[in-house]
Amino acid sequence: MNRVEYPRPQFVRSEWMNLNGKWQFEWDDKNEGWKDKYANQQKLAREINVPFVYQSKLSGIEEQAIHEYVWYKKEVELENHKDMVTLLHFGAVDYHCKVYVNGQFVGEHEGGHTSFSFDISDRLVEGKQTITLFVHDPFEDETIPRGKQFWQEESRGIWYTNSTGIWQTVWLEQVKNEHIEKVKFTSDFDNGMIWLDLLVSGATNLKEKNWFLEYTISYKDVVIAEDRIKLTSHTSKRAVDLIQNKIFRSNFHDAGFAWTPENPNLFDVKLVLMNDSGDVLDTVKSYFGYRKIHTESRMVFLNNKPYYQKLVLDQGYWPDGLLTAPTASDLSKDIELAKEMGFNGCRKHQKTEDPLFMYYADKLGFLVWGECASAPVFTEKAATRLMKEWMEIVDRDYNHPSIVTWVPLNESWGVPNIHSDKRQQQFSKTMYHLLHAIDGTRLVISNDGWEATTTDICAIHNYNHGRLEEKTKYEYFKETLSSVENLISHAHGKWQVYANGYAYQGEPILLTEFGGIGFKVDDQVGWGYTSVQSEEEYIEDYRRIMDAIFQSNGLWGYCYTQLTDVEQEINGLLTYKRKPKCKLSIIKEINNQYLPDRLQLES
């Protein structure tokens, strides 16, 4: 099975080369591959199916033993065009890799969840090219953002099988030296504008040239705006009036232009770079969604209207591919199943997802809370690594309208003493302000679960709802959710809602983890936060827990745990293989039975 789809749907060129499939492979437990000249022409003994990690079934290896050092190698037929720039792209490689082309070092990247690329033009030879990767994935280094990846051979509890090496698509493209490097779209929703930030790459002094960049913005195949920019520098910024002085400006957003989960409207964009002779140097296709997210009056607003979020926790694991979806359609299928159950979004938990997932969320209409894998400890190195990874995440995913919230910290992972430790509190605040500084279009949660500092949403976790027969425990759970005062005054386990020195400032309150009903429907052995024995009990328990959510006068949304079973966790609404545990229409009926009073007043 190969992943053959174009891997960067927000920035598409027609010419590219997919390098997924069979690669030579070898683990190097003693880190002696350098002596054997693996980086040069020596053939590796094993074979692996990229982009699946060696721990997965789809890799063709399925080995769970710990191998911290691994090598990859592939021969590629590629012409060495002297007038072109050849870019080698990696979707994600876990964790630290060094890249060689024809035995020559071209670059390295640290960080297991974000995309990167290298210009390999000056390393090419005539005929076949040999690409080699050396990967180091230190299993016991606690300063690495590892999320749910376990540091032992067999997963257990809330910890899952490790992923080492390439786990997203590898690909090549050849472009002119002067080409479009990046485009950013920023909605100015209140003024009917979209801002385009453009970056053109190349050594040419554009002030001395008569070069142009043309853009065309279309909505449902109708051209909305087009223009031709004379380039005087490598960066350009343009504001485009999408409303264009229409008479009924106030009705523009209601006429179907804005992006929402119910109406995921997208604008198509075509960018063309031309030189002073009128020759086309580069063509890129992209898209954007026109939307705004903000908070006020204890509510979240989408496009200036109150919007109640009904989210589901999604950890993005598959039985045969682990972190890597077997096919692109598996990514869209998870969204379709969640929507079929009445959810309007998800929190991507402890994982930075494949860009194709966000593309389908953009296209199908599905809110996404973006999260990053956490490190388990707080050190200067761990803090630096997390900040670097987050800056790369925002840079890669900025244009996706579906992403409405960033979640830099979860349940005090990586900041275990945040309740009273001033340094850890400052780090939480730093992450909050850093993300707002580089992305002013989204909400940021300082610490999802408890012990919040400065935050846009008060995000609370509470699994204390008990079993069906535990009425006293359930009534206490119901009481703690009943009002704003009860939500913020009750500790959940040993954790306070806010860290010492911080207090509720009127943020919207969402219950962002709860539920986790364990229900075994096949031969899988595992656990849940509570457990039931039949489909009837499962529905009854789900309805009972959701009733407690819906009776609350303090909550403005929720995130149910969780979409699917994952390895030994059997608390999903779907099994690990995506089999529903009950009729999805029943879950949808329960999820849709409630409309908050504040929304009813707006309706």
- The pLDDT tens digits for 279-312 are 999 999 999 999 999 999 999 999 999 999 999 9
Average pLDDT over residues 334-342: 98
302 assigned to some structural domain:
no
φ, ψ of residue 133 to 5 degrees: the values are -125, 135
Same domain? For 480 and 598 the reply is: yes
Q: Of 36, 31, 25, 24, nearest to 138 (Cα)?
A: 31
**pLDDT tens column, 538-560:** 999 999 999 999 999 999 999 99
59 assigned to some structural domain:
yes
Same domain? For 87 and 190 the reply is: no
What pLDDT band is residue 602 in, cutting at 50, 70 and 90? very low
Judged on CB neighbours under 10 Å (0-12, 13-18, 19+), 266 is: middle
Quote the CA–CA distance of 272 and 150 in Å, as a whole number. 46
**pLDDT tens column, 356-390:** 999 999 999 999 999 999 999 999 999 999 999 99
Both tokens assigned to 306: 């109150």
Quote the CA–CA distance of 428 and 218 in Å, as a whole number. 41
Same domain? For 257 and 332 the reply is: no
301 assigned to some structural domain:
no
Write out 288-302 in H/E/C secondary structure: ECCCCEEEECCEEEE
Same domain? For 164 and 186 the reply is: no
Give me the pLDDT at residue 603, please. Answer: 37
Same domain? For 466 and 551 the reply is: yes
Same domain? For 396 and 510 the reply is: yes
Q: Of 491, 509, 510, nearest to 500 (Cα)?
A: 491
> Rounded to two decimals, what is the model's pTM?
0.96
The residue range of the domain holding 123 is 17-176
Give me the pLDDT at residue 597, please. Answer: 59
107: pLDDT strictly greater than 90 = yes
What pLDDT band is residue 203 in, cutting at 50, 70 and 90? low
**pLDDT tens column, 248-260:** 455 555 557 899 9
Same domain? For 145 and 187 the reply is: no
Comparing 164-173, 224-233, 445-454, 575-584, the range with the smallest average pLDDT is 224-233
Q: At 189, which CATH number?
A: 2.60.40.10
Angle made by CA atoms 368, 261, 411, in degrees to the nearest 5: 25
Give me the pLDDT at residue 515, please. Answer: 95
The CA radius of gyration of the chain, in Å to the nearest whole number, is 25
Average pLDDT over residues 197-214: 84
Average pLDDT over residues 28-45: 86
What pLDDT band is residue 155 in, cutting at 50, 70 and 90? confident
Same domain? For 228 and 328 the reply is: no
299 assigned to some structural domain:
no
- How far, in Å, are 70, 296, 435, 519, 550 from residue 540 at the CA level? 49, 35, 41, 12, 15
58 assigned to some structural domain:
yes
- How far, in Å, are 183, 459, 568 from residue 200 at the CA level? 9, 40, 48
Give me the pLDDT at residue 465, please. Answer: 87
Quote the CA–CA distance of 31 and 226 in Å, as a whole number. 55
247: pLDDT strictly greater than 50 = no
Burial of 475-510, coded b for 16+ CB within 10 Å and e otherwise, reads: eebbebbbebeebbebebeebbbbbeebebeebbbb
Q: Could you give the percent of the chain with pLDDT greater than 70?
A: 96
The half-sphere exposure of 522 on its side-chain side, counting CA atoms within 13 A, is 16
Residue with tokens 């009705």: 251
Give me the pLDDT at residue 564, please. Answer: 98
Average pLDDT over residues 69-91: 93
Q: Of 316, 285, 312, 311, nearest to 300 (Cα)?
A: 311
Same domain? For 101 and 47 the reply is: yes
264: pLDDT strictly greater than 90 = yes
Same domain? For 439 and 552 the reply is: yes
Give me the pLDDT at residue 528, please. Answer: 86
Give me the pLDDT at residue 82, please. Answer: 82
Quote the CA–CA distance of 81 and 174 in Å, as a whole number. 8
Quote the CA–CA distance of 222 and 203 in Å, as a whole number. 36
10 assigned to some structural domain:
no
531: pLDDT strictly greater than 90 = no
Q: At 571, which CATH number?
A: 3.20.20.80
Please count the other Cβ atoms lying within 10 Å of the Cβ belonging to residue 105. 14
Please count the other Cβ atoms lying within 10 Å of the Cβ belonging to residue 77. 8
Domain count, the chain: 3
454 assigned to some structural domain:
yes
